Every structure is written in structure tokens, then in C-alpha cells.
A and B are shown apart, each in its own frame.
Chain A
């Protein structure tokens, strides 16, 4: 085995590279769904802004695609170099799947370039162009499903993983849940990222027309991001239920042992996302004629979200693991007897449902406001644009934070209860350390996205205007 990577270590290198690959992959999978929807809406409504939004976003996707491939290659390189036994097994086990993956990836890349470079050429045949976009999304989703199969196999392999058929290995106990969760999450992520680009462009624009367009773009991006976010807890619940049904010991680790406080943090992050979305609506409804009359209801909704979040966050105990012993009296760090129900799943489920329903209700109010009053695009409180930068920051951190939770749920196994992880790093990292790594990954991701954004939007714009 080659020596450990100096200064940092093998696992950290793989962790960062894999997470960056996943974040860029999520963007290049989620954004095209968003783009095709916008292109279709442009055709349907004859509103040219949708066409402009779709095209400007696609420019970014084309550049981000290269970085996805770069980090994917780096991840394979680290896996083969540093985890030879595991990668030998996984590549042999899924040999036909990796072959199919390579073919689909090749077809997807080709189609992505065809979609981008025929944008103007097929301007008169929009339905053809949209069809190419739909096909691109179908291929992208298939590629993701294949790799989800490999990833979910590591946590929930079938009986006798060494002799199971390729289909049994792929169609394992949590494949469906992971596919559903990632598909919905990618759409949400794509929407929030588009809203981020719009906010940046709004904040740096000097012309009223540009501000009006980017205000509208941010609204659409946020709308799609939140629409998918509302469904995400259901997808997450289905996925977690599949894990629980597969092996209850994993559920104990996730919800009652070392990873329990990771889920308290996850509750805070998801709560931030919902509250941020509702706050954006609070600010932006002001620019709709007569929209202010809905603010009383939105304030009520914020109250309801806060109560829901408070219930969601109440932990069963402040002990970091099942074996931890309190330094003082146990009553100081465990939930009081008569409020135990607040720490149990039914209360948490009810709290999350309330937050989701209230957010959907606020959206309904917002649509009502748009239907009855004139929208003054561009005349929005700048704080709303900062909220649109807050949401993707939290979304990306959540993704970078939830990734290791899924990986560490395997405990000391590369493949759960089949192939042990014999490296010195087969342990669950503490919450604080995990958050630092997730924070670093989030910052690296946004620095790279900033560079892409600058290339795609700013340099592109300068070229167009000169």
C-alpha cells in the first residue's frame, strides 16, 4: 500500500475530492432540468426572459461540466491508489455497470455539447432543441442512478455480496430511496444556484432593466428550489425508512448514537433553508402592488415555522454517544420525563410536516398576490438578494455535511458487514471536525463556482457588449 498522503491523510483527500465531485455533479444534473423547464416555459408563454435565463444558465453548466469530470477522475485515482482491495472488488462486481456508465457518460457529454452549440441554430425549431434537452436530462439521470446503485450497495449490500447478481447488487435495499432523494435534491440545488447567480448579477448591475431581469431570474430559481425543497423531507423519510428496514443497527447509530447530534445539526440547517425561503417571500412580496396585505399571514407562518423548528431541535439528550457518561447529574443532560414525547420521532415528524405545509401555504399566498397585483420587477429590498446567497450557502453546506453521515453510517465497513475497512481511519469523526471539513469543502466549491460564474457571466457579457 502506498504511504499516507503527507500533512493530511488518505481519507481526507478522498472525502474532499468525492464531495466536490458530488457537488459539481449535482449542479450539472440539477441545472439542466431547470434549464429545460425554463426553455419550455419560454416557448409556451412567449416570454423571452425564460429563454435568456435558460441560455445564461447553460453557459455555466457547460463550464462546470469539465470540473465535474476532473474531480470524478481525481476520485477514481485516489480510490485505485489508496483503497486497492476495495476498488478492485467494486470495479469487478459492477464491471458491466461501469461499462454502461462510461457509454452513457460519453453520450451525455456529447449531447450536452450538442444542446449548447445548437441553441441558436435550432432557434426556429425549438421543440427539437427542447427534445435534445429532455434526452440530456434522461441520460444524466440514468448516469446518476447507476452510480447511486454502487454507493447504496456499500451501505446496504444484498445477502452474499460476493455472489449476488449484478442486478441484485444494483437494485439493493436503498437504491430507490437514494435515487429519489438525490433527484429531488438536485433540482432544489439547481434552483438555488441559479438564484445565487441572479442575486450576484442583480447586486452588481447598474441598469434598471438588468436588475428587473435578474430579480425575476432569482425569483424563478428560488421558486423551483423551494418547490423541490418542500418535497425533499418526504424523499429523505423514504430513504431513511429503507435504511431502517435493512438493518436496525444502522438506525441506532444514526438516531440514538454517535450520529444523533449530526441530525440535530441537519435539523438546524434544513430549518434555516425553510425560514430563509419564507423570509425571501416576506421581503419580495413588498414589490407586488397590494402585496403588503399578505404580510400578516407570512408573519404568522414564520411563527409556525419557528415553533416547528424548536420541536425538531429538542434532543433526547446532550450525550454525544450511547456510551458517553455525563460529567454531572444525568438529569442535567437528558430530556425531562414529562417532555420525552418532544424528543421522539412522531413529534419530529409532525414538526417537519408543519414547516413544510406552512412554507407551501406562504407560496400559495405569494401566487395569490401576483395574481391580484402588478409586480414591480427590480424594485426589491437588497436584503432579499442576500437571502438568495444565504440559501445556496446553507444548501451546499448541508450536502457537504450529509454526505459523510451516509458514509460513516457503515461504521468500520467499506461494504457493510462484508468488507471491513482496515485502514487507520475506519472511525466516525466527531461533529465539530466533520463540520470544519464540510465548511472547507463548501468554501472551495463556491470559490470554484465564483471563477466559473466570472468566466460565464461577466466575461461573456463583456464580450457580448463590446
Chain B
């Protein structure tokens, strides 16, 4: 009973406290976190219940003993699989690849560590700062090199990054033309041209 009361009190605190805390405090956890903390408290409560549970005597029959072991396996594996399935999921690329547009595939490639664009460039709030911010690259590229279209300028930046280096940045980008497949190149260009 004491354990149940403690668990209920802690869970109540998890859900009530954020109502009392202001947004600016920098301490307010979102709903997803509160759900995670609640599950954790329930688990801890169950563990402390087990610490107090009365002793179990040996099973009288073999089928019951084997059944108990089977039950432990099914419960443990089932609980873990369930937990994994309610955790954040990304869409399976295997299903999405057929329907995704070139720009969407380009975005995925841009943020794919195997390609690595985002390690040096930021789009919106994600990415590195060793290279220029590309959040509005399509707008910026329109006036960067007189005579070059947005697409040609971006192609030049991918094939010969040293041809134009933005002031305050070093000429450190390797040519990406040979590193990417023609499809990836086309998709990344489509994505960059959508960043207006």
C-alpha cells in the first residue's frame, strides 16, 4: 500500500509540476518526457513491490515450472518489443523510397552521415558551422555569381567548391561530384534549390 501511495504521489508530481513551472524556467519537460518518467516510476514501484513480495516455494509439477519459465520469456521479450514499438519511429526507407520526391530524397541524403553535407552546413537548426548556412541557399545563390543560374552555381559548388569561397570561411570542402551517384547529385540539387 505504501509503495502504491509513493508511486501515485511521484507520478502526480511529474504531471502537476510542469503546470506550475513557467516556460522560461528552462526546466519544463514536455509530454513525451513525462510519459517516459511515468513508465520509469511504475517500473521502479514494481521492483520495490518485488523486494517485499513473499517467498515462493518450489513448483509442485514440472509443467508448471516449465510454464513459468516460458511465461518469463514471453513477458520479457514481449515487453521489450512493445516498448521499442511505442518509441519514436522514422518511416522505413524501404517503404518510402518509391513514393518520395527527388527533394525529399535529397534532404535524406543531405542529412545522411554517409554523405555528410550536414556535418559542415546547417539547414534551419540542424547541422555544422564549418561551412556557410544553407537555410536560404537557393535565394542567396540567385545573385552570388552574375551569369550563373542557381542550379549552375550549386553544381559548381559541388564539383569545384574552391571556385567561389564565401568570405569568413576557409576553402576546406572537397569536390563532391565524384563522391555522389548521379541520382544522389540530382536529389541533393533538388533539395538545395528548394531552400528559399
Contact = CB atoms under 8 A, between A and B. Distances in A.
Do A and B come from the same complex? yes
Interface of A: 199-200, 203-204, 211, 248-250, 252-253, 257-258, 261, 264-265, 268-269, 275, 279, 282, 286, 299, 302, 306, 309-310, 313-315, 318-324, 329, 331-339, 381-383, 386, 389-390, 393-394, 397, 411-413, 417, 420, 424-425, 427-436, 438-439, 442-443, 446
Interchain residue pairs A-B with the least CB separation, the first 6: A435-B84, A427-B93, A332-B30, A249-B113, A338-B26, A432-B85
A203 B65 contact: yes
Contacts of A253: 113-114
Interface stretch (B70-78, B133-141, B149-157, B164-172): B70-78
Contact of B47 (A250, A275, A331, A431): A275
Contacts of A389: 69, 72-73
Interface residues of B, number: 59
Given A199-B69, A339-B26, 8 more contacts: A302-B51, A383-B50, A386-B68, A413-B114, A431-B88, A432-B89, A439-B77, A446-B73
Interface string B175-196: 0000001000000000000000
Contacts of A275: 47
17 contacts: A203-B68, A249-B119, A261-B87, A279-B51, A302-B48, A321-B90, A322-B111, A333-B30, A382-B57, A389-B72, A413-B114, A420-B181, A427-B97, A430-B89, A431-B85, A434-B84, A443-B77
Contacts of B29: 335-336, 339
A319 B90 CA distance: 8
Given A248-B119, A323-B126, A318 B81 contact: no
A304 to B, nearest CB: 12
Given A199-B69, A336-B27, A436-B81, A430 B114 contact: no
Given A323-B126, A383-B50, A265 B72 contact: no
Interface string B102-125: 000001100111101011000000
Contacts, number: 179
B77 A417 contact: no
B77 A338 contact: no
B12 interface: no
Contacts of A431: 84-85, 87-89
A382 B113 contact: no
Nearest to A200: B69
A200 B83 CA distance: 27
Contacts of B3: none
B47 A265 contact: no
B97 to A, nearest CB: 7
Interface in B23-44: 23, 25-33, 36-37, 40, 44
Interface of B is mostly: helix
A435 B80 contact: yes
A313 B36 contact: yes
A125 B52 CA distance: 50
Nearest to A398: B80
Contacts of A443: 73, 77
Contact of A333 (B28, B32, B78, B80): B32
A390 B89 contact: no
Contacts of A261: 87-88
B77 A393 contact: yes
A265 B87 contact: yes
A306 B47 contact: yes
B99 interface: no
Interface of B: 23, 25-33, 36-37, 40, 44, 47-48, 50-51, 53, 55-59, 62, 65-66, 68-69, 72-73, 76-78, 80-81, 83-85, 87-94, 97, 107-108, 111-114, 116, 118-119, 126, 181
Given A432-B84, A435-B84, A397 B77 contact: yes
Nearest to B82: A435
B27 A339 contact: yes
A435 B126 contact: no
Contacts of B89: 320, 430-432
Contacts of A248: 119
B62 to A, nearest CB: 5
A204 B114 contact: no
A425 B94 contact: yes
Contact of B73 (A331, A393, A413, A438): A393
A334 B33 CA distance: 9
A438 B29 CA distance: 32
B184 to A, nearest CB: 10
A386 to B, nearest CB: 5
B119 A252 contact: yes
B91 A430 contact: yes
B59 to A, nearest CB: 6
Contacts of A394: 76, 80
A427 B58 contact: no
A413 B112 CA distance: 12
B25 A338 contact: yes
Contacts of B33: 314, 318, 335
Contacts of A429: 92, 94
A413 B114 CA distance: 8
Contact of A393 (B76, B93, B111): B76
B161 to A, nearest CB: 18
A435 B77 CA distance: 9
Nearest to A332: B30
Contacts of A427: 92-94, 97
Contacts of A269: 80
B136 to A, nearest CB: 18
Contacts of A302: 47-48, 51
A381 B55 contact: yes
A311 to B, nearest CB: 11
Contacts of A286: 55
A257 B119 contact: no
